[in-house]
Structure 1
Amino acid sequence: MTMQPAPVDILLALFACMSLYKLFFSRKYPLPPGPNGWPLIGNAFDMPKTHAWKTFAEWGKIWGPIMSIKVLGTPFIIISDPEIADEMLGKSGSLYADRPTVQMALLTGWDRALSGARYNARFREYRKLIGKIIGTKTSMMKFYPIEDYQANMSLKRIFQKPEDPASAIRKTAGAMVLHLSYGYKILEDQPDPFIAKAEFAMEQFSDIHRTGAYAVEIFPFLKYLPAWVPFAGFKRKAAECIDPCNEMADVPFAYVKEQLDKGEENNSFAADLLKDKNITSEKLTDLKWSVASFYAAGSDTTVSVVYSYLLAALLYPEVQRKAQAEVDSVVGKDRLPSFQDRDSLQYIEALVKELYRWLPIVPLAVPHRAMKDDVFRGYFIPKDSLVFVNVWYFLHDPTVYKDPSTFNPDRFLGPDPEPNPIDRGLFGYGRRICPGAHLADVSVWINIVKAVAGIEVSPAIDEKGQVKMPVPETTDGIIVRPIPFECVVKPRSEHLLHVLEEALKDGENIN
């Protein structure tokens, strides 16, 4: 009698075949080049602790535009060429659409946010919900009045506290997105609780996503350590983040539900999503976190870019003068610029592009994850490889951008303009491209053009009468902004203050 193989034998044989295939496959196609690492740990201790995009740029010069390192057996693929990034991440369908598991996000609850969501049904639902409301330039027009009003309020807030324009910018960015997202108008004469919660939560979000900052990302087994162990400081940090993370999503969403239950008018993003009366608890969670993700993306983008404008106006006063001259010639001085002026303000358009390029908001894009083995340009990319895209280098490559460290909007004007930063990964790639890109574009543009029209920026003076000039450096983290600096801001004229007062009166009743 012929013996039939046992199921376990079949499984072992299949496993052996798969292992042999993968071994042959990986030998036939090598990993991208990179530095040698140590046994077992690979290049774990080579990972930069801060401003990783600068270290990755130097590695790219040595090892090429697509290189690799290994961290505890996981390949890290680092891309320093936008064409490679576009081909790999933008034209490969869902193959690289996943995100890695961020241990600190799991420990804090931030894994529910869109930016780090795995490529699954929840992710697709988030994008569908966001795309439904702000997925096109045309759909954003509904929110122009809110954007315009809040940008005018930004000027008022800055003039009320000219010694600290950064806080006014942060307040405005939060106010604008809260207004759009939840129909909530912040308290102006005292600290606003919604703004405070959101700012605190977003600081924690950026911190826990810093590349290589927490050992648990390199050694995931550490998450099982009790919090009192000396090497488990990350665990204590994570515990501090849980409540702020939950409150950022829960508190403003509850405000919208309460308003709608009372029959009050609310034309916000969240209110539009809640019009469906047959919402399951699971769908409600998706709604809540899609709106929270919308807030997270919109507020930090605006803060970073507008603060960068003040820095650029200080370091390059000729840019400020040229931008003001264009606004004055097109708009005049008897009203503030609005969206209807956009097509006529070409230098302002170039100025915004240069702000995106000079100090990019997300210099090292959130990593993608390979969902299966792949061969790309003759290199083997194993399943679960993490793909890092160095957007900062894309926008500071001296072979593409002349004098990349110099702030120069003119590079985007004339018959042979340099590449638009938006086309070089500024808002991501493929199925992970930011669904709020149209919102970011609108919010940044209106705030920049109002700042140009209304504010005169000049250097601060120290106690010895010396000019205090800042350094154009950024904070660390997944979303960055300029390092805090001092400057003097004031209205461009007394007449401007009257024009602003009238504009604010016209916008008081916007919901």
Structure 2
Amino acid sequence: MVLFSSSNVLLLLGFFAVSSLFLLTKAWKIGSRPVDIPPGPPTIPIFGNLHQMPIDKPHLQLQKWAQEYGPVYSIILGTTTMIVLSSDEAVKDLLDKRSGNYSDRPDMYIGQTIASGGLRLVVMRYGKFWRMIHKTIHNILNIRAAVNYVPYQDLENKIMLQGIIDEPDAFLDHIRRYTFSLSTQIIFGYRAPSTQDPNLQQLFWSFERWGKLAGSASAQIADLFPILQSIPAALSPPVRTARWLHEKEKFLYVRLWMRAKKGVSDGTGHPCFCNDLFRAQETEGFDDAQAGYISGSLLEAGSDTTAAILYGFILAMIIHPDVQNKVKAEVDKVVGPERLPTIEDYENLPYVRCCIKEAMRWMPTVILGVPHAAVNEDTYKGWRIPAGATVINNVWSIHMDPKRSPDPRTYKPERFASDTRSLYESATGEASQRDNYVFGAGRRLCQGIHIAERSLALGVSRLMWSFDISPATDPQTGEPAKYDGDDLVGGITVEPRHYKCNFKIRSIQKDKIIRRAVEKDAADFLDSRTGQWRKTPDGMAFSTWVPEEVKF
């Protein structure tokens, strides 16, 4: 019995040939740049510009392309179109003025779906749940509420100073305890008395690994070629690592959340963000894993960025001793030798403000921003921006634009001498006058910016009042160690590669003032057995969440 005639066989062969050619042609177009989107480097089929993206220091390549192709350009990475914004004007026009269309995040299969269970707030997709949490956070981090956290900041900062006096080689540990303990107090209602607090150590350990994993080449490739996401976990080491890391983080965050939740339920807890989150959970019905990651995401943001900025500032003081001398002279003149600087002194310390602004410009901790995504197709200056395109706020290139900041790799606080605005006022003001882009843009602007500025003001002014900071001695040469301000490590967030330096208290009198201040505050406010606050300072803006529909 003959099933196919010769003519039918030829017809089938022709069909398969045409189909194969169609599929091959379609696949060959992957990686090509449409003619109507912003320009960019030449592409190759399938990969686009992927082969040109370096694994190490990608911010330098994006800066080079910005210089070649302009402030708005595109790179094609497999199936993904990435629009790179490398000017303050472009960021203002799109991410701020058209924030309704650019408040989404791109899918991050490894970093968000697997390593975060889809729950990490900073890379969460835009939607009703994100808007509800955004409003809840705003209630406790807005500019009016931020003033009330100064007692926490004041005490934790004093304890940081004493820690550096006693353990100068562990200065980074004491900086991290400062920012972490402040964050845990606001979010969970407890403080971290020691640099050896296991929650503190796990937070920085896991967040560092998440940042590297989420920014790794394997994670990027899984997003650029979604078909790779179907590979079984047994055959995908990055997926296995991401799942393992998620379990570690989830254990920490949910445990801290459940501890705070129990305190709300039985009346033993302290006022904190989790009180509001508990009320939101009762109304909205999200589970404890979601609540844990929401509160844990805030802990990451509050602990890591501020610590990294202070770490970068200290490095700048070592590399530029002339600046260190100048800022110490200002603090000495305004404050004097007999008391610590307070937050009330900040308005009279303009050079301290300049140093903070320049520290974030000179060494931005979020070096390429956190990616945005276009919800709908858009046009800008005659170019089409496709729906779903990833949009990058190219922080490094903006900060290092010599037209915006002459001699950009030199730490020069004087460039902000006429800028008296707060970090928030700058972030929401005129684009050409914005001081930095570390805190994001549009609806995704970090809501902790007010608290961060106060923590940095106390950190910078008191470190300069307290210490002379100098290079460590190179053990091989006996000469002062050399430092590289361009040597940054990390993934989505970065900080200087770990370094050593010398901290020397500026006088015996200052040593005594710091120790007496810590002793007095501890006696007045802290439980001698647990090291926790006995009574929350008056005026804390907690438990303000109201379940209502918020329109953006």
TM-score (norm 2): 0.82
**Aligned partner (choices 128, 134, 141) of residue 134 of structure 1:** 141
- Measured after TM superposition, the shift of residue 186 of structure 1 is 1.7
- Measured after TM superposition, the shift of residue 420 of structure 1 is 8.6
Letter in 1 for 2:309: V
CA distance in 2, matches of 1:187, 1:501: 15
* Cα distance change on mapping 1:432 and 1:275 into 2, 3 Å: closer
Match of 1:176 in 2: 182
Partner of 2:489, secondary structure, is coil
* Cα distance change on mapping 1:295 and 1:416 into 2, 3 Å: closer
1:482 partnered with 2:496: yes
Match of 2:152 in 1: 146
Match of 2:482 in 1: 469
Q: How do 1:242-257 residues align onto structure 2 when only pairs under 5 Å count? A: 242-257=246-261
Match of 1:235 in 2: 239
CA distance in 1, matches of 2:280, 2:243: 35
Q: Is the 8 A contact 2:469 2:504 kept in 1?
A: yes
1:460 partnered with 2:472: yes
Partner of 1:254, secondary structure, is helix
* Cα distance change on mapping 1:395 and 1:307 into 2, 3 Å: same
**Aligned partner (choices 40, 51, 66) of residue 45 of structure 1:** 51
Q: Is the 8 A contact 2:262 2:269 kept in 1?
A: no
TM-score (norm 1): 0.88
Letter in 2 for 1:33: P
* Cα distance change on mapping 1:285 and 1:226 into 2, 3 Å: closer
- Measured after TM superposition, the shift of residue 265 of structure 1 is 4.9
Letter in 2 for 1:478: I
**Could you list the per-position Cα deviations for residues 210-234 of structure 1 after superposition, in whole angstroms to 9, with x for gaps in the alignment?**
16453323222222223343xx221
Bigger shift: residues 306-315 or 270-279: 270-279
**Aligned partner (choices 186, 192, 195) of residue 192 of structure 2:** 186
Q: How do 1:257-296 residues align onto structure 2 when only pairs under 5 Å count? A: 257-274=261-278, 278-279=282-283, 281-282=285-286, 287-296=291-300
**Could you list the per-position Cα deviations for residues 335-386 of structure 1 after superposition, in whole angstroms to 9, with x for gaps in the alignment?**
1111111111111011101101100111101111111111111001111111
Match of 1:428 in 2: 440
- Measured after TM superposition, the shift of residue 110 of structure 1 is 5.4
Partner of 2:340, secondary structure, is coil
Q: Is the 8 A contact 2:187 2:298 kept in 1?
A: yes
Match of 2:458 in 1: 446
Q: Is the 8 A contact 2:324 2:464 kept in 1?
A: yes
1:223 partnered with 2:236: no
**Aligned partner (choices 111, 121, 124) of residue 118 of structure 2:** 111
Partner of 1:388, secondary structure, is strand
Letter in 2 for 1:98: D
Bigger shift: residues 144-153 or 281-290: 281-290
CA distance in 2, matches of 1:498, 1:272: 40
CA distance in 2, matches of 1:454, 1:237: 43
Letter in 2 for 1:502: R
Partner of 1:139, secondary structure, is helix
Letter in 2 for 1:63: Y
CA distance in 2, matches of 1:415, 1:155: 29
| Structure 2 residue ranges without an equivalent (≥5) | 1-32, 526-532, 537-552
* Cα distance change on mapping 1:45 and 1:204 into 2, 3 Å: same
- Measured after TM superposition, the shift of residue 423 of structure 1 is 4.7
Q: Is the 8 A contact 1:212 1:218 kept in 2?
A: no
CA distance in 1, matches of 2:445, 2:190: 28
1:33 partnered with 2:39: yes
Q: Is the 8 A contact 1:454 1:492 kept in 2?
A: yes
Match of 1:364 in 2: 368
* Cα distance change on mapping 1:110 and 1:495 into 2, 3 Å: farther
Letter in 1 for 2:518: L
Q: Is the 8 A contact 1:253 1:288 kept in 2?
A: yes
CA distance in 1, matches of 2:418, 2:385: 41
1:496 partnered with 2:502: no
**Could you list the per-position Cα deviations for residues 225-258 of structure 1 after superposition, in whole angstroms to 9, with x for gaps in the alignment?**
23343xx221222122111221232121122123
CA distance in 2, matches of 1:442, 1:192: 24
- Measured after TM superposition, the shift of residue 457 of structure 1 is 0.6
Match of 2:76 in 1: 70
Partner of 2:496, secondary structure, is coil
Match of 1:23 in 2: none
Match of 2:400 in 1: 396
CA distance in 2, matches of 1:457, 1:125: 45
Q: Is the 8 A contact 1:459 1:467 kept in 2?
A: yes
Q: Is the 8 A contact 1:223 1:235 kept in 2?
A: no
Partner of 1:426, secondary structure, is coil
CA distance in 2, matches of 1:488, 1:101: 44
Bigger shift: residues 238-247 or 204-213: 204-213
Identity of aligned residues (%): 28
